[in-house]
Structure 1
Amino acid sequence: MDHFVTDRLTAERLNESHLADLVALHQDPEVSRYLGGVRSAETTKAYLDVNMAHWDRHGFGLWTLRTREGAFAGRAGIRHILVDDVDEIEIFYAFKREFWGRGFASETATALTKIGLSRLMLPSLIGLVYVENGASRRVLEKLNYLLEKSTKRNGIDGVMYRIRQ
C-alpha cells in the first residue's frame, strides 16, 4: 500500500525526500489554520519522523500527493489518533491553496475511505474537523460519514464524523 492512484492524483508513502514540500505546505498560514497553526521546519521534521514511524508500526499512514504532471499537491493519510482518550483511526488531508475548490479533497477522501474499510478492513474511520471548516465537513457528509460528537482540537471546537463497515 505504498502507492495509490485516483483520477487526478498519485500518492506515495511518506519518506524523508518529502520534507521540503511538507515544510512549504505547513508554513502557509491559510493552509495551516485548520491544521493547528503554522509549523516550523523543525516541527515539520518531527511530524515527518512520527508519521514514518506510524507506517513502520501499523502498515499504513501518510502519503504525499502529486498531480499526474508531478506537481506536489498536498498530503493525506490514515492514522491512529487519540480522541478524548480513545484510540481512533482518522482519515486526513491537506492541500496547497492552488488545489482548493477543485474536488481534490473529495477524490482523496473517497480513496482513503475505500482503502481503510475495504483493503485494510478497519471497522470504522473518523474525520476530525474544526467546526468552522465547512468545506471539509461537506466532504465527509457527502461520503456518508455521520456526525458523532463534538470535541476539542488544539483547544478549538471541533466535530468528529464516523463511517463504519
Structure 2
Amino acid sequence: MKNFRTNRLTAERLNESHLADLVALHLDAEVSRYLGGVRTPKVTKTYLDTNMAHWDQHGFGLWTLRTKDGVFAGRAGLRHILVDDVDEIEILYALKREFWGQGFASEIAAAMTDVGLSHLKLPSLIGIVNVANGASRRALEKANYLLERSTIRKGEEVVIYRIRR
C-alpha cells in the first residue's frame, strides 16, 4: 500500500521529495517534545533514509500525510522496533500543530491499525507513548488499543499499548 486515503487525509509512501516537510516538522519543538527532541536537518535526512530502507526491506513503513487540498499535515506509519529484545511492529504518527485537537491523530491511528491488521495481516501492533502525552494515549485508546505496561525507553517513562488481530 503505497498510498491510501482517510476521510480527511491522503497518505503517500515516504520518499526523498518529503525531506523539506519532515525537516520543518522535526524542527518544531512542540511537535518534537515527545519524539526525542528537535532534530537537525541532517538527523532528519538520516531518519528519512532509514525509513525508506525500512520500506524496501519490509514492504511497509512511513507515509506522509496531506489534507485534501494538499497541505502537509504530518507523518504516520508502521515500523519494526526492538522492545525489550522483542521485535515488535509500532504504530507512529506526528502531526503539525495546526492539526492538533481536531481528531486527525485518532483518524490516522485507526487507518494505520487497519493497514497493519487487515491489509498486512500482522498479529499485533504496539504504540509507545510518553506517559505525559495524554493526546496520543487517547488517540490509541479510541482506536481500541489496550494499555499493556509501563517501561523506560531512552531515559523516558513510556506506556505501551497493544492491539491484536
| 2:99 matched residue in structure 1 | 99
Counterparts of residues 39-58 of structure 1 (less than 5 Å): 39-58=39-58
SS of the residue 1:37 aligns to: coil
Contact map agreement 1:65 1:76 (CA 8 A) in 2: yes
In 2, the alpha carbon distance for the partners of 1:51 and 1:153 equals 20
C-alpha displacement of 1:31: 0.2
| 2:126 matched residue in structure 1 | 126
In 2, the alpha carbon distance for the partners of 1:121 and 1:156 equals 31
CA deviations 1:108-128 (Å, max 9, x no partner) are 000000010000000000000
Percent identity between matched residues is 76
What stretches of structure 1 move > 6 A for 4+ residues in a row?
Answer: none
Gaps of 5+ in 2: none
In 1, the alpha carbon distance for the partners of 2:38 and 2:115 equals 29
| 2:142 matched residue in structure 1 | 142
Task: Tell me which amino acid in the other structure corresponds to 2:112.
Answer: L
Aligned length: 165
CA RMSD of aligned residues (A): 0.6
Gaps of 5+ in 1: none
Q: Are positions 1:10 and 2:4 aligned together?
A: no
In 1, the alpha carbon distance for the partners of 2:113 and 2:148 equals 17
C-alpha displacement of 1:152: 1.9
| 1:19 matched residue in structure 2 | 19
Q: Are positions 1:65 and 2:61 aligned together?
A: no
In 2, the alpha carbon distance for the partners of 1:56 and 1:89 equals 16
